Amino acid sequence: MRALCWMGVNDLQVQTVPDPRIVNPRDAILKVRLTTTCGSDLHLLGGYIPTMREGDVIGHEYMGEVVEVGPEAGDLSVGDRVVVPSFLGCGKCWFCEHGEWSLCDNTHPKPELQEPVLGYPTGGIPGYSHGFGGYAGSHAEYIRVPHAAVNCFKLPDGVTDEQAVFLSDSVPTGYMGADFCEIEPGDTVAVWGCGAVGLMAQRSAMLMGAERVIGIDRLPERLALAREKIGSETIDYSQTDSVLEELREMTGGRGPDACIEAVGMEAHGTGPQYAYDRVKQALHLHTDRGSALREAAMACRKAGTLAIAGVYGVIDKFPLGVIMNKGLTIRTSQQPGQRYMPRMLEHVQNGELDPSFLASHSMSLEDAPRGYELFKEKEDGCVRAVFAP
């Protein structure tokens, strides 16, 4: 089959590789119908996530059609159209049974690579380095899904492929961020980042009852999406002296009740702190540029909630004093999509949530290296490049 392979830092190539096959009894094989770029892939491309190997198939946000099932794949059948949350669960361990699917104890084939960094391993995820399990990714014609009965969600007729693909990762990541904020009616929620995850966090916050949602970014086309597709107010941080001051004034002096950080380790920003982060990251003295995270901690009202939905590695100058002295609650995780899938599907079916507009660029798998270029450089208004293998 054809697949997009990571061949080195900033080197992606579409190659012919062997087809996946059923290995374990609970496996299924999917024909991938749609698979999309994710901001977290850029950290792999840039070399900030170690344990990539030349030839690894990348991609983790996808949907497809079942073409083969193992003997214990439950009630899945060949021909089922399904979406799969990116982190794999087993459905049996303590974490899965408590809704913490991304922390599954039984889906990481190489925990010894992750334990030295995290203490305990996460669940496995396809296409995202050997430290995260080493499963071949979704930017391919076919993919093997372990524990298919609990990870493959059958799609109702009313939900299109273009909507479903984003229920794999970007919607549940944003939804989780909003869920962490325990939003009360009348709350104001500020969201750093108007990429796919940030936009979905903004929409989710509205669905959960936020009265005002404020999106923060620097790209005019993304700010326009936040206003026009979501109904958020926006701040262009490149056009203001202080996001903190803007938010203070917009909230009558008290600050947002909750802040969602949906940017991650390659934040852009302004001022000397941003320059410091860039230099340290370039020298591999830390992996993360954390300007969005620091700003969100400063801007949040006292005793508010800071939800971190962006992906992080190692950061210094983490504003613990700000968090501690203001009594902030921090909540963060990799997204447990299985927990939210029934609710997300219901929102889509009811017409309350339509993530399909995130697909700014649709292309074939053969064009995937170009798609990543557009996505990385945010050229041509690219929000997400979606590939149909």
Residue numbers 146-165 binding other proteins by CB under 8 A: 146-147
Which CB, 129 or 281, lies closer to other proteins?
129
Near other proteins by CB under 8 A: residue from 61, 105, 169, 217: 105
From 9, 50, 115, 314, residue interacting with other proteins (rule: CB under 8 A): 115
| Rounded CA separation 351/307 (Å) | 26
Tell me which of 59, 85, 134, 337 binds other proteins, using CB under 8 A.
Answer: 134
Whole-angstrom distance, CA of residue 154 vs CA of residue 83: 7
Site for other proteins in 332-351 (CB under 8 A): none
Whole-number CA gyration radius for the chain: 20
Q: Does 25 bind other proteins (CB under 8 A)?
A: yes
| Alpha helix stretches (DSSP H) within the chain | 39-45, 94-97, 111-118, 148-151, 161-164, 170-180, 196-207, 220-225, 243-250, 271-282, 291-299, 320-325, 337-349, 368-377
Say whether residue 75 binds other proteins (CB under 8 A): no
Query: What gap in Å lies between CA 316 and CA 120, rounded to an integer?
Result: 22
99 is a contact residue toward other proteins (CB under 8 A): no
Candidates 32, 43, 52, 56; binder of other proteins (CB under 8 A) is 56
CA 323 – CA 305 distance, rounded (Å)? 10
Least separation in angstroms between CB 131 and other proteins: 13
Select the span of 44-52, 108-116, 164-172, 280-288 touching other proteins (CB under 8 A).
Answer: 108-116
Q: Which two tokens stand for residue 14?
A: 């579409």
Identity of the residue, 147 or 301, whose beta carbon is nearer to other proteins in the bound complex: 147
308 in Cβ contact with 332 (< 8 Å): yes
One-letter identity of residue 283: L
Longest dimension (CA), the chain: 61
Structure tokens at 163: 């909507």
Site stretch for other proteins (CB under 8 A), options 139-147, 198-206, 225-233, 321-329: 139-147
Smallest gap, in angstroms, from Cβ of residue 124 to other proteins? 6
Q: Residues interacting with other proteins, by CB under 8 A?
A: 1, 3, 5, 7, 13, 15-21, 23-26, 53-57, 72, 90-94, 97, 105-112, 115, 121, 124, 133-136, 140, 142, 144, 146-147
